[in-house]
Every structure is written in structure tokens, then in C-alpha cells.
Structure 1
Amino acid sequence: MSLRFWLQRLVLFLLVSFSVMLFSTTALAADRVVLKYRIFSESISVKDLSNLAATGEASMLLQANLALAQQDKEVMRRYLSTPIKINPVLLERLLDSPIGSVALDKISQAVHAPSDQDDRQALYSALMNSMRSDGNLSLINIIQNYPTTIVQVEGDKLESAYRQLSEIEGRLRNLRDKLS
């Protein structure tokens, strides 16, 4: 068999391998949330948390957990669901800067993988994947798009994470205004 035949086979193999890797990594997203409040911790489904964010309705398990943690579900809903409008291109540029690294570190104190490894990169991925749907960011979108099957949410730090996203929005708005 000729060299050309083998090169074609190699190129085809590489293209198929790349496609499989590309599609398999984008399919990975969180399906469980370990919701933590100080020493209290409970695993719930992302679907339950998403339902709270979308409708204000909490499952019995989530209601019990919020009651035990003495947390108001409406306050949690507000921090999870309030959208923040950000230009995806400007967000990517900001996140690739030293300021963006600090912002990612602050947000990852509230939303992170249980192992605390590669939180910055995982959070970056979740932020960018969240932007693809409608150009808005919310904490629930970030949790839904977190690239691990389990994501840990520090409930008492949700407000801080939301404020950090709002600061990013403000910085990007100022940058856009200066460029205009």
C-alpha cells in the first residue's frame, strides 16, 4: 500500500479522534450539587436547584436543607437566577488577564469542584459555556455548565460570587464605553 493511502488513513483517524474528544468534553456538565453552609452539607440534583432558580419552587429535600441551614429560598433564588449581561468576547479577554484570574479565584470560593483542583480552568469553561446560550450569565447557568459531574456550592458565599459577576459586568461596561 502506498504512503498516500496511509497518510489519508492517519488524517481520517486524527479527525475522527478530535471530533470524539470535542463532543465528549462538551457533553460533560454537572448533575449533582453539594450544597454547603458552614459545617452543613447535602447533595442535591442540579435539576432541583435549577427549578428553584426558575420557578421559586423548592423540592422537599432542598426545602429541608435550606431550613436546616436557616437560609431564605427567595434570597438564594435571586442570587442564582438574576442574569448579568456580558459581551462574550470582552469576557474572554478579561478572564485571560490578571484581573480575570483574581475574579475567577473569588467566584471559585463559592462554586467549585469538590476536589478544589483546576477550579480556575473549570470555572472559566463554565462561564464561557454559559455565555453561549443567550449572552447572559447567572450563577445557576454556571452551575449547570460546570464541567464536572459534581459541583460544590458554598451557599453562604453565593452573594459574594454574584457581586463578583456584577463587578465583571461593570468593568466590561466601562471598557466598552472607553472603546466606543
Structure 2
Amino acid sequence: MQEYLITTKEVSYLSRDMSSHVDEEKINTYIRESEDIDIKSALGSALFVDMKEHPEKYELLLNGGTYTDGCGEIHSFSGLKRALAYYTYARLVKNADGNLTRFGFVEKGNEYSNNAEFKKQLMAYNDAFSIADAYLKECVMFLTESKKDYPLYKGNGGIKAKRTTYRIIGD
């Protein structure tokens, strides 16, 4: 079974560009969290595990493409990898470059870099998470229309938001 559905390099390629100097272990942590919290809950455990064990069976679901619904209409969708990349990217933005040390939670800074305003950081997080939700919704709609091809999918076409939404009040 492959460890994750996407690689650390695919996070930047499939979502938004980011520095190549972001720690790969940190990216892998957020990929794991995104798979466990967002993707698995939308697909169900049986489908999620089978997809990790046999990704070749799920090329269309993972990479996106087109399908025809029950009414004969053609739809396109971007695939689970893109949704997962955006969920991961959102978590990276939210947690920025913070690290837990023996002195508490600190954020890296030096004379060559400026930290983004907290308000802008939260706006970017909320935006990326909303995009991830939209991509995941496309995948769930595909699965709902293709239940005969994906018998392990037991969902009803909905997704549950499992995140904290931050609202900025004042300056």
C-alpha cells in the first residue's frame, strides 16, 4: 500500500505554488491529516483503503476527467489528488512556519523575511479550504453518479465540513 495518495511535490503542482524549501516532513504530516480527516470521511473507510491499496483502479477518481450523468449530461471534475493538495496547502498556510519548542509555539523570522499579517494568512487559509471543498464535492458527485463502478462508495453525495472557520473582527 502506498503511504499517501499524493507526493509532497504534487501538493505545490496541483494547488498553489510554494517555496521548495518547505520541510517535506511537515508537508507529509498535513497530507496525512488531510487524508484522514477530509478525504476518508467523504469516501468512507472501505473505499479509501482500497484506493490506497489499488490506486490503478481509481485513476479517473484520483486524477479527474469527464463522465456522463444519468441524464446524459457531460461533467468534468478535477480529481481527488487536487482536492487533497488544496486541503494540505490550506493546512500549511494556517500553520505557517510555526514550530512547537521548549519555549512554546514560535514562528521563524529573520531580517530577510517578513511574516504575513494574521488576517491575510487566515483569508488565504479559508480561500484554499473552500477550493478544496469544491473539488471534493465534484469527486463526491462523480461517485454518486458512478455507484455501479464504485460499489465501495456508500455515501449519499454530501460532504461534511471538518474544519474551523476563522472570522476576522476589527483590524
Using structure 1 for the length normalisation, give the TM-score.
Answer: 0.29
Q: Normalized per residue, which structure has more helix?
A: 1
Structure of larger gyration radius:
1
Using structure 2 for the length normalisation, give the TM-score.
Answer: 0.30
